[in-house]
Structure 1
Amino acid sequence: MTPELLRLLRTPEGLKALAAAAEVTGGEPLAAASALRARGFGAELSAAALTQASLRARAAMKFGPDAAGMFFTRAGLEQATRAVVADRRAARLAAAGVETLADLGCGLGSDALAAARHGITVHAVDADPVTAALAAANAEAAGLAGRITVECADATSVPVERYDAVFADPARRQAGRGRVFDPKAYSPSWDFIAGLPGRTPRTVLKLAPGIDHALLPPGAEGEWVSVGGDLVEAAFWCGPLAEVPRRATLLGPDAGLTGAGDTVAGVGPVGAWIYDPDPAVVRSHLVAEFATSIGGRLADPEIAYVYTDDPVDTPFARRLGVTEMLPFSLKRLRALLRERGVGVLEIRKRGSALVPDQLRKDLRLSGPNTAGLVLTRVEGAPVALLTTSAM
């Protein structure tokens, strides 16, 4: 995508090409391109329209019906905040009285769009000219250009003190290197990002889910968010925006768990039921709080599986029934599964170095039945738990 191609796609001819591409996307690429050229569209416009149609179809999972009118790049779509996450964040900012927001590293504009829909005036910046142009086009397509200004600029040049709040989403990818996990390699730099709360107290930082808790600014809230069981981001809510020390937010079941992250869970024997906590619960260090909420316990203080003797319904974990526990032995496990006619095995693991795909091969599964297997540790020793299906 280039600014020139984007301008072409937004002309009447480009809009016709986009509509035609939407009709043929999903089919064989060469046939789709031929179909557009047969309707009189040039090769360059046809290719750009087909790319957008394909990206819009993929984006529907993140943006719903709005994706049909938005403009994307592949990298921008991968990094964009899911609409449901952005909407929740914007609602929380609006409820806190935020009226103006500086969006640093706005990408394709997902968070800016959500904030504007909640009545917040947004100044969005991105250092990449094409990305900034796409964000502006998306704001216009959504009818929100009056609330969103987009500037191609370095985030460090923005006078953030002029705004009620700051939202920063530092780039966590580098050309040729893929994802960047070390905050020192973020762009803008971590020093700049970490200094934002000192300049504008109401600051929200969108970060990778694996961010070190030690980097949480003093007094800030660390929130880990999952959507349908997929962990998608961490957010640090700073200054007056902080409500609790730690929060696990589950969108899908729409549930939240809070705590200080320093509770110690009780330890006891394996029970009749095992709970595999949502990754947001694990990453937020709220497993002990979760265990307390269901009257559960750990079988090993270092492993994030929770056990109860009676079943408890909870949105914060998948529950499985434990039907058998044995010290891990490939020979004994293979014999047990053969005896039970298990041909399909769902494997979960914590605290085990075994590779599930290789283990399936080594077990030589055969039979009509399905079972679950949990590889874990109890009192430091490796064990295998045969389980029912997850609930």
Structure 2
Amino acid sequence: MVDFTLDDVAYLRSDDGRRALADVADLALSGAGQVTDIATVRTRFGERTAILVETILLRRKAAAKFDDPSAWLFTDDALQQATAAAVAEHRARRLVGARVHDVTCSVGAELAALGPVAGQLLGSDLDPVRLAMAHNNIPDVPLCRADALRPVTRDTVVLADPGRRSGGRRRFDPRAYAPPLDALFDVYRGRDLVVKCAPGIDFDQLPELGFDGEVELCSSGGSVREACLWSAGLATPGVRRRASLLDRAEQLTDADPDECAVRPAGRWIIDPDGAVVRAGLVRQYGTRYGCWQLDPDIAYLSGDELPDGVRGFEVLAEIGFDEKRLRRELAARDGGALEILVRGVDVDPDALRRRLKLRGAQPHSVVITRIGTGAAGRAVAFICRPSR
């Protein structure tokens, strides 16, 4: 990881720097030829080698988040925390026409998404290197250096993405964010505030920190990307939790119907999108698609029909969970490659897969879960065929 300086950024933004980056971008910089490629860069560009190679490698990593990062500048930490374009654009759609001040703008990912829709924009950050990179990445947006906890605007929607990494390590305590979450809520109390958070944040802790609004969980590309906190003035009336499934252009909230029954497994078992589970909206999801829960406290759903476009697991057999019996059942079905899903039972899927030592040719999925509570609780394994 390279620590960029203002001089480095100035060079990378210069004509010489852009030409050098174009040359380095033609090299693989990986595999067996990596050492040779870096030696080539060092011969041509000397002490600039590290920042040139790092920039090209970060741009390649950024392709997973951005539509076209080929001219962007990043630091490693800034890229890791940058919002994926699809998520940032989704958030921007809730702020159409608004005057927005991004008080932790970093290298400008959120501002780039807001540019086409916001009424007016301002970005600020304390880190001068990231601000210099943002000037390169979003040249049409006004930027200034400012502390997020010392407001420099009024009558704007405040957008914040507190730092959750230090020295490459994640910070899990929201009071240890930079700036701390409780301090943000205090400073901008009564203002329209949008805060991006890690999806694993303890939502029960938020009222203690001073938050009273809507929590939105977003998924994209098959995984939960982030939590977003919308202050009361920006929240949808009556909604405290929302799951936004960007791949399906679908949303659920805690205001949706939740008359979801609990019944034994039908033809299909469904593992709802992670944003649905994390937002606590499994019952709403089941109600929408005519499914039911296997257990009121477990997130798996079941149904006789699979919702369109949703991956499911067709139940072939149901057994009490026992490794020896599971091995026999799978061996009898010529079981080989095995996907294991677990909820409510203390089982390590990878360790179990190794212990089963299956040698067959047919792929299967096994869903292991707990049914019932207390003395009546039991571990169950469903042997399944995945829909895809």
**TM-score, normalised on structure 1?**
0.90
* Alignment map for 1:1-391 (pairs within 5 Å): 1-27=4-30, 28-37=33-42, 41-65=44-68, 67-94=69-96, 97-98=97-98, 100-140=99-139, 144=140, 148-160=141-153, 162-175=154-167, 178-195=169-186, 198-200=189-191, 202-214=192-204, 215=206, 220-243=213-236, 244-260=239-255, 263=258, 265-308=260-303, 310-314=304-308, 317-379=310-372, 380-391=377-388
Inter-partner Cα distance in structure 1 for 2:189 and 2:308: 39
Inter-partner Cα distance in structure 2 for 1:119 and 1:260: 28
| 1:133, distance to aligned residue in structure 2 (A) | 1.7
1:145-201 deviation line (CA, Å, top 9, x unaligned): xxx2222332112234x142111111112236x11111121121222222255241x
Q: Which amino acid aligns with 1:211?
A: I
The answer for unaligned runs of 5 or more in structure 1 is: none
Judged with a 3 Å threshold, the aligned counterparts in structure 2 of structure 1 residues 196 and 325 are, in CA distance, closer, same or farther, namely: farther
Q: Which amino acid aligns with 1:209?
A: P
Q: Are the aligned partners of 2:199 and 2:224 in contact in 1 as well (CA < 8 Å)?
A: yes
Q: Which amino acid aligns with 2:101?
A: A
Aligned residues: 374
Judged with a 3 Å threshold, the aligned counterparts in structure 2 of structure 1 residues 227 and 196 are, in CA distance, closer, same or farther, namely: farther
Identity of aligned residues (%): 37
Inter-partner Cα distance in structure 2 for 1:191 and 1:259: 25
1:98-121 deviation line (CA, Å, top 9, x unaligned): 1x2111221221001111222443
Q: Are the aligned partners of 2:159 and 2:194 in contact in 1 as well (CA < 8 Å)?
A: yes
Q: Are the aligned partners of 1:9 and 1:45 in contact in 2 as well (CA < 8 Å)?
A: no
State the SS of the aligned residue for 1:24.
coil
Q: Which amino acid aligns with 1:311?
A: E
| 1:377, distance to aligned residue in structure 2 (A) | 1.2
Judged with a 3 Å threshold, the aligned counterparts in structure 2 of structure 1 residues 73 and 122 are, in CA distance, closer, same or farther, namely: same
State the SS of the aligned residue for 1:198.
coil
| 1:265, distance to aligned residue in structure 2 (A) | 3.3
| 1:219, distance to aligned residue in structure 2 (A) | 5.6
Judged with a 3 Å threshold, the aligned counterparts in structure 2 of structure 1 residues 79 and 228 are, in CA distance, closer, same or farther, namely: same
After TM superposition, the structure 1 stretch with the greater mean CA deviation from structure 2, 262-271 or 45-54, is 262-271
**TM-score, normalised on structure 2?**
0.91
Q: Which amino acid aligns with 2:70?
A: A
Q: Are the aligned partners of 1:115 and 1:121 in contact in 2 as well (CA < 8 Å)?
A: no
After TM superposition, the structure 1 stretch with the greater mean CA deviation from structure 2, 217-226 or 18-27, is 217-226
Judged with a 3 Å threshold, the aligned counterparts in structure 2 of structure 1 residues 314 and 351 are, in CA distance, closer, same or farther, namely: farther
| 1:254, distance to aligned residue in structure 2 (A) | 1.8
Q: Are the aligned partners of 1:275 and 1:320 in contact in 2 as well (CA < 8 Å)?
A: yes
Inter-partner Cα distance in structure 2 for 1:55 and 1:30: 18
| 1:259, distance to aligned residue in structure 2 (A) | 2.2
Inter-partner Cα distance in structure 1 for 2:42 and 2:177: 42
The answer for unaligned runs of 5 or more in structure 2 is: none
After TM superposition, the structure 1 stretch with the greater mean CA deviation from structure 2, 366-375 or 29-38, is 29-38
Q: RMSD of aligned C-alpha atoms?
A: 2.0
Q: Which amino acid aligns with 1:81?
A: T
1:203-245 deviation line (CA, Å, top 9, x unaligned): 1111111223331667622110001221011111123321132
| 1:36, distance to aligned residue in structure 2 (A) | 3.1
Greater share of residues in helix: 1
Inter-partner Cα distance in structure 2 for 1:348 and 1:191: 36
Q: Are the aligned partners of 2:269 and 2:312 in contact in 1 as well (CA < 8 Å)?
A: yes
